[in-house]
Structure formats: C-alpha cells, structure tokens
Amino acid sequence: MDSITQAALGASIAGLVAGKALGRPALLTGALLATLPDLDVLIDYGTAVANFTQHRGFSHSLFVLAPLSLLIAGLLWRWKPEPGFQRWLLLTALILMTHPLLDTFTTYGTQLFWPIGRPLAISSIFIIDPLYTLPLIAGCLAFLVRPPALRAITAGLFLSTGYLGWSFAAQQVITERVQPALAKAGLSDARLLVQPMPFNTVLWRATAITDRQRVEIVTGFLDHGAPLTLEYFPRQPKLANSVSQLPETRRLEWFTRGFLDYRATNGKITATDVRLGIPGAHPFSFVLAYEQDGRLTPADGERAPRPAMNTGALPLLWARTTGAIPVLCLASLATPAIGEEC
C-alpha cells in the first residue's frame, strides 16, 4: 500500500497499544516504524529489473522483521521504560509485520517469506484505496484532538480491516462471474488474475493469459447484469522465447508469474508487467535486449519510459465504475461505437 496508508496503520496500532502511556507521541512513533520496511527503495541493486523485483524483498520478510522487532523493542524500552518491554515488543511486532501483510493484499507482490518462495500477491485491493485509509486517518485525528481516543482508534482499525475482508470476498464473487465466460471462450485453463480497478473495489479487471493471447474483462457490482465483454490482446510467444534465457527475463517471469507482454520496437525488445496499471498505461516496462540484423544483444535491464497519464480517461473510468457506461475498452480507454465491440 502507499506510504500514507502504512503510516496511518502504524500510528493506529501504536495508539491502541501504547496510547495511554505515551500520549500523542505514540502516533508519530507508530508512523515512523511503519515506514521502515519501505526504506529498501533507497537501495540500488544494480539494474532497474533488480530494483523492481527486489523491492518488498528482505525488508518485508517475516523472517527478518520478527528478530528486528525484538531489537527495536529493546532499544525503545531503554529509551522510555514506560510502557514496559512487553508492550513495546507487541507494538513493534504488530506494526512491522502488518506492513508486509497488508502489502500482500495488493498486486505488486510481497516476498513475505524471503529468501524462500515466490512473492505473494492476493490482489484484492488497489495500492491506493481511500475507503481503506480514511477510517485509519479519522481515528488518528480523533486521538490528536483528545487522546487516547481508544474507541475512535479501534473503530478505524475495525472498519479498515472489515473493508479488507470485503475486498477479498468481492474478488471471489467477480472470479466466479468471469470464469464461465472464459470457459466458453476456451480459456478455462488460462492463468487468471482478478484485481480491482484504481481506487475502489466496485469495478474489477480480470486478466486471463495463455502463450498466444491475453484476454481482459472489466466488470463491476453496478453493471446490473450487463453481459461481459472480452477484449483480446495478442501475445508473441516466439519473441518471448528468443529472450527467455536471459537472467533479467527469468527474473521478471518469476516475479510476475508470467504476466508479461513482450514487444519489439525500434530494435528494442521490451517486457511489460501487465498486472500493474491498465493497457496503455502500464508503469513498468524493461528493455531486455537489442535486435539488429537478426542478432540479439542483451541489455542491462533498463526501465523503458513510463507512458504519460491520460487524465481524460478518468471521467470514463468513473462512469464505468458507477455503471453509467456498460463497456470501456481498455486498449483505447474509450467506449465502443454503437454496434461495435472492443
């Protein structure tokens, strides 16, 4: 999740656990502790691909955060013996460990058990979702006005956690909705990713992928039974195979579980993470190799320029979320003409 949300969650936990003993400084302590795991963004791992795939790595691992909680609790206890070592340990452990657990509900991927296994991504909540964050902020504001405001802090945590639970339940509903349409299209065995569209859990995006094609479906809870629209995007298996043995390619395939789009443009072969953003506005693309006269030269995994944000599409996204328009083509971020399909 975004830094503001993580800080609000950490502050809320600190206020609940030690608000009576520490007063208002508890919120600042919790917010600062909650930012620690994300400081890994300051580390340069050598290439853009490495920086992308190793973020939320060791600093988000429960194997690292558990002993770190013990160390930080000891230091805080020496600095301020009240409220006691056990409460300091409870505070630091909850804040540090809920950070990666919350990140796991997003699509990016969190290496919760680094150095073992793949990144985990439940993908039930967008990286920024005001309905999750605002209850936490409201509880913290109540604490600042009249500490310790335990009821307000507790209510904020209860509402945000309940919303997280709703996002997971909504994801299952949408998954069951799209699976019959995919099966009818001969895609029952395709890898499937179901995730919310930006800033909400009302409108959802389902991405099904095979070696030769990718299918996108946008559907929501305010569609009033409208039929699903399947939008097809061709893939290039030969191009993907030509760079499949490159270390940067293998790393990206591992990190994204194969949700990549390969393109050859102006002598550059790029791979784009199609999980994040939407078609035409995927933020993470990397140059894997250069092609000239049929020969490939490995690149250093530099990041390709990020596409400009189409602010004109925001009203259409809102209209699609509310069901005011029944179809939104992702490739063009426009509504199809009457009688036409995406």
Q: Domain-by-domain residue ranges, the chain? A: 3-122
In the numeric block, the tokens 């499949």 are attached to 244
Q: CA–CA separation, 162 vs 166, rounded Å?
A: 6
Q: Burial level of 204, CB count in 10 A (0-12/13-18/19+)? A: buried
Q: CA–CA separation, 151 vs 7, rounded Å?
A: 19
Secondary element (H or E) of residue 193: strand 191-196
The mean predicted confidence, pLDDT, of the chain is 94
pLDDT number for residue 107: 97
Q: Beta strand 230-234 with 268-273: parallel, antiparallel or unpaired?
A: unpaired
Residue 281 has pLDDT above 90, yes or no: no
Residue 338 has pLDDT above 80, yes or no: no
Counting residues of the chain whose pLDDT is more than 70, the rounded percentage is 100
pTM value is: 0.93
pLDDT number for residue 317: 87
Q: What is the mean pLDDT of residues 80-102?
A: 96
pLDDT number for residue 341: 79
| Terminal alpha carbon distance of the chain | 32
Least confident of 189-198, 231-240, 302-311: 302-311
- Candidates 239, 249, 253, 244; CA nearest to 291 is 239
Q: Burial level of 149, CB count in 10 A (0-12/13-18/19+)? A: buried
Q: What is the mean pLDDT of residues 252-257?
A: 96
CB 326 within 8 A of CB 226: yes
Q: How confident is the model at residue 241 (pLDDT cuts 50, 70, 90)?
A: very high
pLDDT number for residue 331: 82
Residue 77 has pLDDT above 80, yes or no: yes
Q: What is the pLDDT of residues 97-143, one digit of tens each?
A: 999 999 999 999 999 999 999 999 999 999 999 999 999 999 999 99
Least confident of 193-197, 326-330, 334-338: 334-338
Please list the alpha-helical segments (H only) found in 227-298: 237-242, 247-256
Q: CA–CA separation, 280 vs 3, rounded Å?
A: 26
Q: How confident is the model at residue 293 (pLDDT cuts 50, 70, 90)?
A: confident
